[in-house]
Each structure stands twice: as structure tokens, then as C-alpha cells.
Chains A and B, each alone.
Chain A
Amino acid sequence: MVGLNRGRWMVSALAALTMLAACGSDGAESGEDGNVQISFLTHWGPDQVTMLNEAVEAFEEENPDISVEVRAVPFANLLSTLRTQGSSPNGPTMASVYDLWLPELVRDGLAAPAPDAVADEVTSGWPENLVDVITVDDAVRGFPNEVNLYALNYNKALFDEAGIDAPPTTWDELRDTAEQLTDPEKGQQGFGVITSWPAGSVHPWLSLVASNGGQLLDGNTAQLEAGPVLETTQLYADLVADGSTVPEMSTANANTTGPYLDNFVNGKTAMIIMANWWKGSLSEAMGDRFDDVGVAPIPVGPSGSEPTGVSYSWLTVVNEQAQPAQQEAAWKFLSWLNGESSGEDGSSAMGDILMSMGILPSRTGDLDAHADDLSDPFLSAYVDQLPAATPFPIVLGGEELTVSVQQQLENVIFGSSDPETAMGQAQSEAQAILDKSGE
């Protein structure tokens, strides 16, 4: 009898849950005045949100039948907001997303294929390698906006002090230079790495792998036990063994700041591989000393032929779960926001917003319109490297795979594993993740 009651109770509870899950409105497609209401989810800061709101006002003046609401959340909450709100009737109509999330968003119907006219616009207005990244299942999935890539950053004042003329171009030079720039008495390391942050750990290492002729994946097969990958991991172990890399100076926190950044800012790290987006953080923290920061291509390994930094991009997608009229309005807004008429001097409004953060826009027309701004020594070095960049592989399970590689890499950095064992473990874990995601 008790069992029967319990069984009935569970069935009732599950029925109630199902009803709760099914509850909800049909969405807010139309406002009180008959406008189509759409929303834009972003992780930008207050200044950029203000600029976006100004652009929205201009768009709404031209398109009085569409209302755009901007929703801003911190970067750390962006993906979780999409997960919890994406499929709800009042979820965001448009969202700014990291390209690594795209396959999952496409699989779960949250990244709509662009209409033909929009797809043509993107194909003709953006570099081919970026369009490839955001093309999934033969469909363009949005507008690429910011692009980031990795290069060697170095402290010119420390180089001058040590009598070193130029940044290293090969791994042998990297080890020699790092050794010369290391001074334990001053708490100074020659070459800094980053830990406790998946992308911060893996992207710089993968830039060295790519500049050594290696790759992370070949299609859906992990390549972590290949020669160039093992050589790169061995380079990390050698730099630590030389004393040129001090693991304890490497940590990052949830804000993607922390000791690794502080040590470079304070002149305690002579060289580090980082992406262009940290220009804002560096210039704010270093003040006039920011002029000491030099940027150079990634040093080339013994098995490589040319320098190449890992790149990744962000794009704006339209929610496939939104009502058709909302999707249509969203594509119209994005075309306008990314078009040359919305910004200043031939730039798009999106280009202007990105440049205000010191981030490279990806639209060819925006790069031309901001040529003067992009000619500063820091950014121009990145712009020069852009054509040869290696996009980070975009696969299902990419986030989990990145963390798995990060863990093994950190085991090498902190001396709890040798390169061969660590990469062997990383290979089996990465392949398992890829196989599971592909099922």
C-alpha cells in the first residue's frame, strides 16, 4: 500500500513537472503597438552597450516597425544564459557567441541558417577563413564580428636591459633569449605561460604547435601524440627545467586576469604569447609603460616552416527558436548593424563598437575604414599575422576537449607528468570526447 502510494506520488510529481515545463507564453513577437520585438544578448561592457543602444536608436528610427532590446550579461554568464533562456519563448532573438559554441548551437536549433541574401553579404564582405569557421552544415550561421589571434608579446625595456636586439624567431632562440631574460633574484621569468584558464593555457601552446607544423585535430581525430605536438610540450618542459618559465607565476582567475597578467604588467615576465584583445587591459594597467610592449610572430619550431598564431572569432547568431517575423527582423537588424551605412567613415556600427575596445573587427570594409587606428604598433603586428592565422578547430565537445588538454598541459608545467605520458593521456581523453560528441 505504501509502495503504491509512493508510486502514485512520483507519477503525480512528474506530471506536475511536465505541466510546469510546458507552461509559458507563446513569446512576445508583437508589442502593444504592433511592432516586432527582438532582443540582442551580449557580454559587452557598459560603454559598448551604450554604443549599441545608440545604434539601436538609429535603426529603430529607420525601421519603426521593429523594436530591439539589448540584454547584457557578464562573459562568464553568457553561455549559461543561452542554455537557460535560449529555447524559452522570451529568450534572446540574437546573441553574440564564441565560435567554439557554434556546433552545439546549430545541433540544438539555436543558430538559424542565414537567408541567401545575408549569406551572400557575409561571403563577399568577410575573409574566407572566417566565413568557413561560421559555416556549419553548408549554411552561414551569422555575422562574424570580432577576431582574435595570438602572437608573441615581449617587454622591450627588459630586452634593452639584457642587450638583446630582437625577439626570438625560432625555438632555439626562444630558449636562449628566455634564459638570458630570467633573473631569479629579481623574481623575473624569461617566458610566461598561463594556467587555470582553458583557452589561456591551450591557445598559446597550440600557436607553438601550429608554428611547429602540428595541429590539434585532423577532422574528428585528435593529433596529440604526433611529433610536432610532443616537441612543443617538450619545449614547455624544457623552459620550466631551465628556470626560464616559473609555473607559480602563471595562474589566471575567473576574470581572465591574475598573476600571469600582473607579472607581465610589472615587468616580471619578459615574453608571453597572448591575444590582441588584452591590449585594453595592458594599456590600462601599464600606462606609459605600454609603449614598452612589443609584438612579434610566434617563434617557429624545428618541424615548422612559418609562424602562425591560433585565431578564434565571435559571431552574432539568430535564434532559430524565435518566431519567423522575429528572425526576419533580426537578420535585417544585423545586416544594418554590420553594414557600411551604420557606422562612421565607411565603418559599420559593429566595427566602431569593436574598435572602441581595441578589438580587431573582421569585416574587410571595417579593417579599411579603421586603417589608421589599426596602424598602431601593437595592433598592426596582429593585423599582419591575420592572413596566416590558424583557426582553432570548431567541433562538438570543443570546450570539454580544451579543458582536457589544459589539464594535461598543466601536469607537464607543474612537473607531475612528462610530455609523452601527458599527451598520451590527452590523446585518449580528447578522442573519447570527440567520439562521444559525434554519437
Chain B
Amino acid sequence: MTITRQAAPAAPVATAKLGGPSDRKWAAIFVSPAVLIMTAFMLVPILLTLWISLHEWSMLTPIGDMTWRGLGNYADLIGDPAFRGSMRNTIVYVLLVVALTVPLAVLLGLLLYFPRVGGKGAVRTALFATYVIPTVAIAMVWGALYAPTYGPFDQILGWFGISGVGWLSSPSTALISLVIFHVWQMVGYYTVLVVAGLTQIPGDLYEVARVDGAGFWRQTVSITLPMLGRTMTFIVLVAVVNAVQVFDPIYILTQGGPAGSTDIVSFSIQRAAFQYGLAGQASAMAFSLFIVMIAVVAAIMAAMRRRR
């Protein structure tokens, strides 16, 4: 049996093209508010971050009183083992989050979309609820769940003779404990995105596949997953960005510890700027992270495009 991959039918798109100068003038007028807002709230902060990163500034003085350092802050970062450690932790955190969240979201999405059973809406709502609850509130609860020896997780494991896991209290488990929390909190959101992606796959394809004798797994591998390509690209990108930006649980639960094991770049930036008064160094970290993120996002998009 052969299942030929078919391109999804092209969505109807507006085909009208801009005509003469008058049309372009109106287009510019309509687009300009968005451009102005993006300039004010995106480009200006990015440029300001770059500008501060070239200076030494404690934030206690007016911004005009910064001291020029050139690329000194960037040079310091390259030689700083703490920054390298936080970069390493960030990469591990992002990889674990993506590796766990994306397959789990796809699996849950398939389970919520295909079987014809009742209560799917309730499950979907329950999964999405973890995303809606403020991180600060839920992080405190997870802190109690993770408490060593007397916490519920350790108590339950104790019934099976497992003890001394450590969770947030051990350098070997603290980062993975935060990853578990992140996955728990975000997987519902990605699941909803997967379900939304599944609704875009034409039912005809499955019907043809069934006529050709394809079972559920063959349909999944040959139709569902390839047709989810664009949705998956979006989910992976959002998952990476969300993982890189994680801050609240680290600030609340571990403060980068124990022994620097959960010290990730976003927390280091906050600490350098607001605790150490090194806004230039913090901005250099932030801008370096920004450049890395652009490279990562470009690489992911290129890889996904090649696959398609």
C-alpha cells in the first residue's frame, strides 16, 4: 500500500495586489500604527539594551551618567565561568523542556482529538487550566510538594521504599525538578495548539488512507504528523522561547541554587542588574541571549522548512 503525501489544499487567500501610489499610501497609513507600536515597544528596548550593554551603569544614577565600556562587558562574559555555567544550564533546561513537552503534547492532542468519547472538553479545560494559573501561586505549591523528606512526593515514594530524591534540594535533581514543573504547567497549552492543528487536516485524507487499508499508526505516521508540520514548528519555537524566558519558579524556589545548578541566564540577568548593580553586564547577557535566540529560531525554522 502506498500513501502519497499530498499537499494540504491551499487556503483561500486574498489575491488582490496593491495597485498604484494611492493604494500604497493607504496601506502605509493603515500599517503605520502597528509599525509605531512595534518600534516603541520592541525596537527601542532592544536598541537601548544594546546601548546599555556597552556601558557600566548601576541604575542608581540617571541613564545619561553611564560610563562607556565598549565591548568590555562582552569580554568579561566570555571569561566568566558563572555565565558559562548559566548558559549551559539554560541549554540543558531548554532541551529537556522541548524533548518532554512536544511529544507529550502531541500524544495528548491525538488522544483528545481522535477517540470518540465523552468528557474530552473537560480534560482539555483541565489541561489548559495549569497554563492559566499564575506561576507565582503555583510555584509555592510545587515548592511544598517538592519538600525533601516531609513533602508529599517524598512521602509517596517512601511507600515504595524510595527515599532521598532531593528534588529542588540537590544539585543533581533541582534542574530536572524545575523542568517537570514547567512541563506540567505548559503541556496543556501546547496540547490545545496540537488539537487546533489537527482540526486543519482534511478528513478526506484519512478516508482515502482507510480505503487503502492504512491503520491508525500508519495514518498517524504518514498523514497526521507530516500534516502537523507547521503547527509543530510553531510549538517548538514557542516552547524554546518560553523555556529560555523562565524566571518565576527559579526566583521563587531555588534562587539559582543549590550550588548554582539552576542558575539560568534569565535569573543571572536579574541578579546582575538588580542585586549587583551591573546593568551593563546584565544587558550584555540579555543581548547575547537575544542573538543566540535569533540563531536558534532561524535554525529551527530552516530545519522545519527542509523537512517539509
Chain B 243-261, CB-CB to A under 8 Å as 1, else 0, gives 0000000011111111110
CB of B148 within 8 Å of the partner chain: yes
Whether B47 and A410, one on each chain, are in contact in the complex, defined by CB atoms closer than 8 angstroms, is no
Chain A residue numbers with a CB within 8 Å of B171 are 410, 414, 416
Whether A104 and B60, one on each chain, are in contact in the complex, defined by CB atoms closer than 8 angstroms, is yes
Identify whether the interface residues of A are mostly helix, strand, loop, or mixed: helix
Closest beta carbon of chain B to A19's beta carbon, Å: 11
CB of A407 within 8 Å of the partner chain: yes
From the candidates B59, B148, B254, B260, name the one contacting A248 in the complex (CB within 8 A): B148
Chain B residue numbers with a CB within 8 Å of A80 are 274
Whether A83 and B258, one on each chain, are in contact in the complex, defined by CB atoms closer than 8 angstroms, is no
Give Cα A49 to B51, complex, Å.
Answer: 40
CB of A115 within 8 Å of the partner chain: no
Closest beta carbon of chain A to B49's beta carbon, Å: 11
From the candidates A13, A105, A252, name the one contacting B44 in the complex (CB within 8 A): A13
CB of A27 within 8 Å of the partner chain: no
Question: Which chain B residues (263-282) contact chain A, with CB distance < 8 Å?
Answer: 271, 273-278
Whether B44 and A83, one on each chain, are in contact in the complex, defined by CB atoms closer than 8 angstroms, is no
Give Cα A86 to B278, complex, Å.
Answer: 16
Whether A83 and B60, one on each chain, are in contact in the complex, defined by CB atoms closer than 8 angstroms, is yes
Which listed segment binds A: B61-69, B127-135, B228-236, B300-308? Answer: B61-69
Task: With A80-B274, A247-B169 as known contacts, state yes or no: A195 contacts B62, CB within 8 Å.
Answer: no
Q: Which residue of A lies closest to B163 (CB)?
A: A187
CB of B58 within 8 Å of the partner chain: yes
Chain A 245-282, CB-CB to B under 8 Å as 1, else 0, gives 00111111110001100100010100000000000000
CB of A345 within 8 Å of the partner chain: no
Whether B260 and A407, one on each chain, are in contact in the complex, defined by CB atoms closer than 8 angstroms, is yes
Q: Which residue of A lies closest to B276 (CB)?
A: A400
Chain A 400-418, CB-CB to B under 8 Å as 1, else 0, gives 1001101100110110100
Chain B residue numbers with a CB within 8 Å of A248 are 148-149, 164, 166, 169-170
Whether A22 and B255, one on each chain, are in contact in the complex, defined by CB atoms closer than 8 angstroms, is no
Give Cα A258 to B168, complex, Å.
Answer: 11
Chain A residue numbers with a CB within 8 Å of B176 are none
Whether A407 and B64, one on each chain, are in contact in the complex, defined by CB atoms closer than 8 angstroms, is no
Give Cα A251 to B63, complex, Å.
Answer: 37
Chain B residue numbers with a CB within 8 Å of A407 are 82, 259-260
Whether A108 and B256, one on each chain, are in contact in the complex, defined by CB atoms closer than 8 angstroms, is no
Whether A249 and B64, one on each chain, are in contact in the complex, defined by CB atoms closer than 8 angstroms, is no
CB of B150 within 8 Å of the partner chain: yes
Closest beta carbon of chain A to B240's beta carbon, Å: 26
CB of B143 within 8 Å of the partner chain: yes
Closest beta carbon of chain B to A438's beta carbon, Å: 13
Task: With A14-B51, A253-B253, A399-B276 as known contacts, state yes or no: A196 contacts B258, CB within 8 Å.
Answer: yes
Give Cα A248 to B167, complex, Å.
Answer: 9
Whether A13 and B169, one on each chain, are in contact in the complex, defined by CB atoms closer than 8 angstroms, is no
CB of A79 within 8 Å of the partner chain: yes
Task: With A21-B64, A87-B60, A414-B258 as known contacts, state yes or no: A254 contacts B253, CB within 8 Å.
Answer: yes
CB of B48 within 8 Å of the partner chain: yes
Q: Which residue of A lies closest to B76 (CB)?
A: A436
Give Cα A413 to B257, complex, Å.
Answer: 12
Whether A21 and B63, one on each chain, are in contact in the complex, defined by CB atoms closer than 8 angstroms, is yes
Chain B residue numbers with a CB within 8 Å of A10 are 47
Question: Which chain B residues (131-187) contact chain A, with CB distance < 8 Å?
Answer: 143, 147-150, 164, 166, 168-171
Give Cα A248 to B271, complex, Å.
Answer: 24
From the candidates A108, A251, A266, name the one contacting B258 in the complex (CB within 8 A): A251
CB of B43 within 8 Å of the partner chain: yes
Task: With A266-B150, A416-B171 as known contacts, state yes or no: A79 contacts B62, CB within 8 Å.
Answer: no
Whether B252 and A250, one on each chain, are in contact in the complex, defined by CB atoms closer than 8 angstroms, is no
Closest beta carbon of chain B to A101's beta carbon, Å: 9
Chain A residue numbers with a CB within 8 Å of B58 are 83, 104, 107-108
Q: How many residues of A contact B (CB 8 A)?
A: 50
Give Cα A105 to B60, complex, Å.
Answer: 8
Chain B 28-60, CB-CB to A under 8 Å as 1, else 0, gives 000000000001000110011001000000111
Task: With A80-B274, A250-B169 as known contacts, state yes or no: A259 contacts B148, CB within 8 Å.
Answer: yes
Closest beta carbon of chain A to B39's beta carbon, Å: 8
Q: Which of B170, B171, B253, B255 has the most CB of A within 10 A?
A: B255
Question: Which chain A residues (8-26) contact chain B, with CB distance < 8 Å?
Answer: 10, 13-14, 16-18, 21-22
Chain A residue numbers with a CB within 8 Å of B51 are 14, 17
Whether A251 and B254, one on each chain, are in contact in the complex, defined by CB atoms closer than 8 angstroms, is yes
Q: Which of B63, B254, B257, B278 has the most CB of A within 10 A?
A: B257
Closest beta carbon of chain A to B3's beta carbon, Å: 48
From the candidates A109, A262, A397, name the one contacting B276 in the complex (CB within 8 A): A397
Closest beta carbon of chain B to A424's beta carbon, Å: 13
Question: Which chain A residues (193-216) contact chain B, with CB distance < 8 Å?
Answer: 195-197
Whether B61 and A17, one on each chain, are in contact in the complex, defined by CB atoms closer than 8 angstroms, is no
Closest beta carbon of chain A to B46's beta carbon, Å: 10
Whether B257 and A251, one on each chain, are in contact in the complex, defined by CB atoms closer than 8 angstroms, is yes
Give Cα A258 to B254, complex, Å.
Answer: 10
Closest beta carbon of chain B to A274's beta carbon, Å: 18
A to B CB contacts below 8 Å, 22 in the list: A13-B44, A79-B274, A83-B59, A104-B60, A195-B259, A196-B257, A247-B169, A247-B170, A248-B148, A248-B170, A249-B148, A251-B257, A253-B252, A254-B255, A258-B143, A400-B278, A403-B271, A403-B275, A407-B259, A413-B258, A416-B171, A416-B259
Q: Name B's A-contacting residues (CB within 8 A).
A: 39, 43-44, 47-48, 51, 58-64, 82, 143, 147-150, 164, 166, 168-171, 251-260, 271, 273-278
Rank and list the top 8 A-B pairs by shortest CB-CB distance, nearest first. A196-B257, A108-B60, A410-B259, A83-B59, A80-B274, A248-B169, A251-B169, A400-B276
13 extra interface residue pairs, beta carbon distance < 8 Å, beyond A21-B62, A83-B59, A248-B166: A82-B60, A83-B277, A108-B58, A196-B256, A248-B170, A249-B149, A250-B258, A251-B169, A253-B252, A259-B147, A407-B260, A414-B170, A416-B171
